């Protein structure tokens, strides 16, 4: 598989994916309910989305709710969905004004109908946004996406990575082939992928920060981007320098 067989992000900008983790701990340190951490996390989403286009980021994929997060208490799940719905309803116009295209990836068949409606409305209202693809992953599981895409292929003898990316895009509702991640950021201090974009992160640079998501701001994103710019990405090739003997 070569890099060129997989989909790049539009206009070849950088694709940053963020595991927005640490909302619960942020609330706990303040003696507040977890839902307040999730609510405070929305402010970070706003800050990061507004700053991203100016940093050369063309696609920003945010992990908001994993398929495994259904295992949390019903009250927390309901609060999360309510906060998400409110965000989509409140911010669609502002995103459209900032030329930010909102899209939601993941399963929709298990979500409350009003939330699905808010997703569809936000997507329609921001469809012409060209400055940034803001993709929000809800009820998302990379493994489940890969499995469902594989099921489509059960009768195919051979499939290219590019074709498989297109299928992944279809099963995750992204509307286009699933795009390679350039930089994956996880806030909150854990160092794991938690079933996020496993296929797309094959060559992603990984950046882990102890900063809790509600505290993450444009300066933190800029620091991650600076660190990213120092990484040498080889995609399996040998390093171009130094030019010594062939070996």
Q: Which residues bind Mg ion (CB under 5 A)?
A: 21
Give the C-alpha separation, 203 to 224, whole Å: 16
Q: How many residues bind ligand IPE (CB under 6 A)?
A: 17
Tell me, what DSSP letter sits at residue 69?
Answer: G
105 lies in the binding site for ligand IPE (CB under 6 A): no
Stretch that binds ligand IPE, among 62-70, 83-91, 126-134, 177-185 (CB under 6 A): 62-70
Active site residue 69: yes
What does 20 bind: Mg ion, ligand IPE, none (CB cut-off 5 to 8 Å by kind)?
Answer: ligand IPE
The least CB distance from residue 227 to ligand IPE, in Å, is 20
Rg over CA atoms, the chain: 18
Give the C-alpha separation, 175 to 171, whole Å: 9
Which CB atom, from 3 or from 69, has the smaller least distance to ligand IPE? 69
Q: Please answer whether residues 15 and 180 qualify as being in contact, where contact means their C-beta atoms are separated by less than 8 angstroms.
A: yes
Active site residue 23: no
Burial class (CB in 10 A: 0-12, 13-18, 19+), 221: buried
Contacts to ligand IPE from residues 164-203, by CB under 6 A:
188, 190, 192, 194
Nearest alpha carbon to residue 137 among 221, 219, 200, 191 = 200
Give the C-alpha separation, 1 to 206, whole Å: 21
* CB-closest chain residue to ligand IPE: 24
Kindly list the distances between the CA atom of residue 65 and the CA atoms of 5, 9, 12, 19, 218, in Å, as whole numbers in the listed order: 29, 23, 27, 10, 22
Catalytic residue among 69, 144, 195, 217: 69
Which CB atom, from 48 or from 118, has the smaller least distance to Mg ion? 48
**Interface with ligand IPE (CB under 6 A), residue from 80, 84, 102, 136:** 80
Tell me, what DSSP letter sits at residue 107?
Answer: -
Backbone angles phi, psi at 57, to 5 degrees: -90, 125
The least CB distance from residue 106 to ligand IPE, in Å, is 10
Q: Is the preceding peptide bond at 144 cis, omega within 30 degrees of 0?
A: no
What does 80 bind: ligand IPE, Mg ion, none (CB cut-off 5 to 8 Å by kind)?
Answer: ligand IPE
Contacts to ligand IPE from residues 5-24, by CB under 6 A:
19-24
Which CB atom, from 125 or from 136, has the smaller least distance to ligand IPE? 136
Residues binding ligand IPE (CB under 6 A) = 19-25, 63-66, 69, 80, 188, 190, 192, 194
* Residues marked as catalytic: 21, 69
């Amino acid at each position: 598989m070569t890099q060129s067989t997989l989909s790049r992000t539009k206009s070849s900008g950088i694709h940053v994916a963020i595991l927005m983790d640490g909302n619960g701990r942020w609330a706990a340190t303040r003696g507040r309910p977890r839902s307040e951490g999730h609510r405070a996390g929305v402010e970070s989403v706003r800050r990061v989305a507004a700053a991203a286009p100016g940093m050369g980021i063309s696609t920003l994929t945010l992990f908001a709710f994993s398929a495994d997060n259904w295992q949390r208490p019903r009250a927390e799940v309901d609060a999360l969905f309510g906060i998400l719905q409110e965000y989509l309803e409140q911010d669609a116009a502002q995103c459209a004004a900032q030329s930010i295209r909102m899209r939601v990836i993941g399963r929709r068949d298990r979500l409350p109908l009003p939330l699905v409606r808010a997703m569809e409305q936000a997507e329609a209202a921001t469809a012409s946004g060209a400055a940034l693809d803001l993709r929000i992953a809800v009820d998302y599981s990379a493994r489940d996406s890969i499995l469902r895409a594989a099921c489509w292929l059960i009768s195919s003898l051979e499939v290219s990575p590019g074709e498989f990316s297109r299928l992944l895009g279809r099963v995750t509702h992204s509307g286009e082939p699933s795009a390679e991640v350039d930089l994956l950021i996880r806030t909150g201090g854990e160092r794991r992928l938690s079933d996020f974009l496993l296929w797309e992160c094959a060559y992603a640079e990984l950046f882990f920060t102890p900063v809790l998501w509600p505290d993450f701001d444009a300066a933190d994103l800029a620091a991650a981007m600076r660190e990213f710019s120092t990484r040498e990405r080889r995609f399996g090739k040998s390093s171009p320098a130094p030019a010594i003997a062939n070996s």
